[in-house]
Structure 1
Amino acid sequence: MRRALVAAAAALTLTIAGGAVTGAPAQAEPSPGGPGLGDSYFPDYGNSGYDVDHYDIRLRYDPATDKLSGTTTIVARATKDLSRFNLDFLLDVESVKVNGWTAGHARRGGHELVVTPARPVTKDQQLTVVVKYAGIPSQVKYDGYTAWTRTADGALAVNEPEISWWWYPSNDHPKDKATFDVSVSVPDGVEVISNGVQPRPPLPELLGWTRWSWRSVKPQATYLTFLAIGQYDIVTDTAPNGQPVINAYSTRLGEAAGAARASVERTAEVIDWESGIFGPYPFEAQGGVAAPPDGIGFALETQTRPVYSAGFWRRGSNPYVIVHENAHQWFGDSVSVKEWRNIWLNEGFASYAEWLWSEEQGEGTAQELFDFTYALYPADDEFWQVLPGNPGADRVFDGAVYDRGAMALHQLRLAVGDDAFFRILPRWAASHQYGNGTIEQFQTLAERISGKDLDALFTTWLFTKGRPELTGTAARHTAATPAQPKSWPKLRQAHDLLHH
């Protein structure tokens, strides 16, 4: 301590010359926040220089024209002295205010909205950023596409890894989670569903318009925030843990309506079962949205309320997709990826949850599903060339991330034994709750709990191309000619639609 004090004193020695004090360190000038967070796959996603605490999104939407207008208020904290900062956003901006003062704003490169405050922003200062905007999201494209889905009776703002750009300005990366208030005014008779709970019932506004409000009180990533607007039948109930369950069904599901309800209405049952494996459910509400036939072609684990393509009910009920998307509430939503290369922590875990459900329901053990999947893909199949632990930005949602990802977890289970494996999963969910994680951190935790060196296992199953040879315990468990488990058709149906 003495040496540090002496060095500090020397560095700040003052020289008196002509009555002036010199030698004091100069104050650093404010500098721009970065246009990205440096994600290895998507380096310009998110922004540096500030951290968001809360989004208040207040909109007006007309399904007849697809016009969206409104104001988003962002409550944040500066993490450095800022001369300007970026938001991720694509719609036309009318004005921006920072702490009540009109700020400059300009579009700069793709999805970047550059904001220049009228007054300096200092580190740790609270920022209240108010952005007023309007546009027709379905007509706004980035790299040739729009993530906003317009339907015959409304719209869906549901996508991954980006969706917020088309309906609210944000710091768009899972590392910057926040709480949300979402309020949307629509014509009477149109429903609006979003995340969390309804702090108040739908309220009449101007003649012919009704405002719907939703609130998320737990930290939430931007891509997990959604809108479903249109004609929906909303069903409410109470879950075994006392939480509200809010499910919504497009009124245009037709012959698939029964299968959709037979699946989504099992959400509370599924979450209750998953809580027994993964630990207490981490959010304030439960539910699901069965989208219309002209909606999305996948399912997404939007926080507290996953959204499902109508295609999942094409061949009857499908509880496996319900299991998959709600497993994400722990793995992906509560514990989010620190970088998108860690996507296995989301998809491998949710896919293995399907195998565990199959085991629970007596429709095929996890070992039988491993055997069948291993035999399904010949050694020379491209499937084995994708690395679940680092698939690449263009293959984040490749089937291997899901299926080989689940296989990797099964190998971990065999290597450490059931007692350790079923302690690792809830410990991971609890130790990183509402935060972010990496594959390396998960491996460290698994090694600490199991007392085993797992480096070879993780390297082989997540980071090495080619079909792994089964040896030791894995070989003894694997059947030579596996039969198709009863659950496989439903798993396959979920598999084919999940990848987007």
Structure 2
Amino acid sequence: MTLSKASCSHSLKPSGSLAADGLKKGLIELLILGSEPRSFNYPFALSSQPRALYCMCIVCSLNSLGTSLAEVIAQRSQSGPSQADTATTVATDPTPGQPGLGDSLYPNFGNGGYDVQKYDIALDISDVLTSNLVGTTTIAATATQALSSFNLDFIGFAIDSLTVNGEPASFSRDGQELTITPATPLALGETFTTEVVYSGSPEQITSVAIPVPTGWVTFDGGSFVLSEPDGAANYYPVNDHPLDRAAYTFRVTVPSEFEVAANGVLEQTTTSGDTTTYVFEARDPMASYLTTVDITSGFNVETSVSATGVPIRNYFAEAIPDDQLDLFDLQPAMIDFFTSLFGPYPFEVYGAVVMDTDTGTALETQTLSIFGTNNLGRPSLEETIAHEASHQWFGNDVALGDWSDIWLNEGIATYSQGLWIEETRGAAALDEWVVDVYGFVEDFFEFFVPPGAPMADDLFNPGVYEWGALALHDLRLEVGDDTFFDILSTYYDTYKGSNVITEDLIAVAEQVSG
């Protein structure tokens, strides 16, 4: 079938190679990078952007190519991070680490000069209903340059003490930046430990990317954490960018009438007096925005194992009726299906936490996707569950190198919804799904930006989701099923455990398609 509802006479019959008709590089270059980024305030204002890219046909899209891949790469090399940004930098004298990693959308996100291996986050929450807590975050890191000082991202709280390698360190704060000057400068390649003890309640913040609460959110029955892209710093000091992923230990103490869910595997539960401490280990490297700590008056914990051997554990808030949760029983089959397409499931465990409140959205928090009552009872729930499950491969294991490439997460996860429909209901159901998605793009095109060109205050524009998914479907029609799924599995196998930008997917598509 063809996706083009606009005036078009070009065929999209599978050719088996992107080289056909001169499309070798053009397909993804245009469908993903699009034309020059637009400026509008979605959804409160309309755009006058010409609908030159309205047709999703490959050839039509190529004819309206506005910004070449070479130009985009040149722009990114001037302002955006790459894998090299985390490499060791040779310097003879200690200098301050950079207060930002140069992300093309959010240049001040993250910090330079070191690489974190492990966070140990201990939270002693005396009052769940206000989230009043004492926190101790211990960070094990390696200096990638000789450091006279370095920065962490941290919002709110009173800092009660701060040490580096056990010695008191001086510090200053400026907005989200916590600048730390160790008593003894850090040598290039030195491993060091930073401990920050802090107290208070998390400061409620609004994301820079979308006007909703982010990070640690307190509600009248407990709290939850949903941090994409910039909320993690409101409950622990962190190098807050996906380029610096690390292992985590969560030690969360709450009054015993409450229960806790968090990323990873629950290793220990200890009750002392009227409090209970939960210890979760997330041993696989994780981006800070994917962390979650969720507290309510009680969880029903349901466990199973997928056919491929992946342990599944779900934390369902006790207040939620069972019949609203039935679709989560599909998770083991989803994990097995995506394993067959992409490669082995990358982490120790999977599952969902469903909170008894409106969380605003669902999020693929690593190993434990988070949902709220706002997701339940909707016709789209099954697709949402599949979407978050597929993110464990694309977004969590294969992670972003730059936030402008978020379509690599969301476009693939959105298309994975269609793949799940195809697997469970057949090819005709996929065709219907694609037509529906195209209809959505058609009806609301004035709100869309090209998948590879989101804006800082509109990161989650539908262009990175639905348009990105249609670009992938178009790629599938062009190269055929065997090559398309080989591209996806090769892309995953090549970059698992790594950070990527759009050019990495383009390179794999070119390599595999010949």
Q: Are the equivalent residues in 1 in contact too, given 2:214–2:230 (CA < 8 A)?
A: no
Corresponding residue number in structure 2 for 1:203: 270
* Equivalent in 387, 395, 399 of residue 450 of structure 2: 387
- CA distance 1:140–1:411, change in 2 (3 Å): closer
| TM-score of the pair, normalised by structure 1 | 0.80
Q: Are the equivalent residues in 1 in contact too, given 2:207–2:231 (CA < 8 A)?
A: no
Give the 3-state SS of the residue equivalent to 1:397 in structure 2. coil
Q: Following the alignment from structure 1 to structure 2, what is the Cα–Cα distance between the partners of residues 309 and 268?
A: 20
* Pairwise CA RMSD: 1.9
* Moved beyond 6 Å, runs of 4+: 140-144
Q: Are the equivalent residues in 2 in contact too, given 1:356–1:365 (CA < 8 A)?
A: no
* Runs of 5+ unmatched residues, structure 2: 1-90
Give the 3-state SS of the residue equivalent to 1:449 in structure 2. helix
Q: Are the equivalent residues in 2 in contact too, given 1:334–1:433 (CA < 8 A)?
A: yes
Q: Shift of the alpha carbon at 1:34?
A: 0.6
* Equivalent in 308, 315, 328 of residue 248 of structure 1: 315
Q: Are the equivalent residues in 2 in contact too, given 1:247–1:265 (CA < 8 A)?
A: no
* Equivalent in 432, 445, 463 of residue 368 of structure 1: 432
Q: Within the alignment, does 1:325 sit opposite 2:393 as a pair?
A: no
- CA distance 1:226–1:87, change in 2 (3 Å): same
Corresponding residue number in structure 1 for 2:172: 106
Corresponding residue number in structure 2 for 1:287: 351
* Equivalent in 177, 181, 185 of residue 249 of structure 2: 181
Q: Following the alignment from structure 1 to structure 2, what is the Cα–Cα distance between the partners of residues 315 and 29?
A: 59
Q: Within the alignment, does 1:117 sit opposite 2:185 as a pair?
A: no
Please identify the structure whose Cα radius of gyration is greater.
1
Q: Are the equivalent residues in 1 in contact too, given 2:214–2:226 (CA < 8 A)?
A: no
Corresponding residue number in structure 1 for 2:45: none
Q: Following the alignment from structure 2 to structure 1, what is the Cα–Cα distance between the partners of residues 259 and 370?
A: 15
Corresponding residue number in structure 2 for 1:301: 364
Structure 1 letter corresponding to 2:106: F
Which protein has greater RCO, CA pairs closer than 8 Å, 6+ apart? 2
Structure 1 letter corresponding to 2:350: Q
Q: Following the alignment from structure 2 to structure 1, what is the Cα–Cα distance between the partners of residues 194 and 203?
A: 25
Structure 2 letter corresponding to 1:176: D
Query: Identity percentage over the alignment?
Result: 40
Give the 3-state SS of the residue equivalent to 2:96 in structure 1. coil
- CA distance 1:315–1:368, change in 2 (3 Å): closer
Cα deviation digits, residues 428-458 of structure 1 (max 9, x gap): 111111111111110110011001xxxxxxx
* Equivalent in 440, 464, 469 of residue 503 of structure 2: 440
Corresponding residue number in structure 1 for 2:163: 97
Q: Within the alignment, does 1:400 sit opposite 2:467 as a pair?
A: no
Q: Following the alignment from structure 1 to structure 2, what is the Cα–Cα distance between the partners of residues 173 and 185?
A: 27
Give the 3-state SS of the residue equivalent to 1:84 in structure 2. strand
Cα deviation digits, residues 369-410 of structure 1 (max 9, x gap): 223332344478314x41101111122111121111100000
Q: Within the alignment, does 1:422 sit opposite 2:489 as a pair?
A: no
Structure 2 letter corresponding to 1:247: N
The 5 Å alignment of 1:50-129 reads 50-61=114-125, 62-90=127-155, 91-108=157-174, 110-129=175-194
Q: Following the alignment from structure 1 to structure 2, what is the Cα–Cα distance between the partners of residues 214 and 316?
A: 33
Structure 2 letter corresponding to 1:339: D
Structure 2 letter corresponding to 1:367: D
Q: Shift of the alpha carbon at 1:217?
A: 1.1
Q: Shift of the alpha carbon at 1:310?
A: 1.2
Cα deviation digits, residues 33-68 of structure 1 (max 9, x gap): 011000010111100000000001111112133202
Corresponding residue number in structure 1 for 2:33: none
Q: Following the alignment from structure 1 to structure 2, what is the Cα–Cα distance between the partners of residues 299 and 413?
A: 28
Q: Shift of the alpha carbon at 1:159?
A: 2.2
Corresponding residue number in structure 1 for 2:101: 37
